[in-house]
Chains A and B, each alone.
Chain A
Amino acid sequence: MFKLFFSLQWKAFFRSSNFGKSLALKLLMGFFAIYMMVSFAGLGAALFFILKKIYPDIDPMLTLSGYMLYWILIELFVRYFMQKLPVMDVRPMLINPIKKSSITHYILAKSGFSGYNFMALFMAVPFAVVLLSQGYPILNVLIWLFTIICIVLTINYTNFIINKSDKVLIVLGGLIAVLYGLENFGVLPVKEFAGKVFYSLYQNPILALIPLGLVLGTYFVNYNFLRKKLYLDASLKKKTKEAVTADLSWTKRFGDIAPFLQLDLKLIWRNKRTKMQVFISLAMILYGLIFYGMDAYGETSTIYLFVGIFMTGIFLSNFGQFIPAWDSEYYGMMMSQNIPLRKYLESKAGLIYVSVVVMFLLSIPYVYFGWKALAINFSSALYNLGVNVPVILFFGSMNKKRIDLGKSAIGNTQGISATQFLVMLPLMLVPCLIYFGLKMLISFEVAIAALTMMGIIGFAFRKPLLDRVTEAYRKKKYGMIAGFKEQNS
Chain B
Amino acid sequence: MTVDQISSVADRPDAAARAGRAPAVGGSRTSMTARRHRAFYMFTSPWIIGFLLLTVTPMVYALWLSFTTFDGISPNWKYVGLGNYRELLNDPVTWDSLGRAGLFALTSVPLSIIAGLVLAVLVNRPIKARGLFRTLLYLPAVVPPVGAGLAFKLLFDQNSGASNGVLTFFGFDAVGWLADPYARYVLLMTVLWGAGNVMIISLAGLQDVPRELHEAARIDGASAWRTFRSITVPLLSPVLLFQTVTGMIASVQTIMPLLLAPLGDTSGITTVPQSNYLYMMHVFAQYFALGRYGYASALLWVLFVLILAVTGLIFKFTSGAVFYNVDPEAKK
A binds B: no
Residues of A within 8 A of B (CB): none
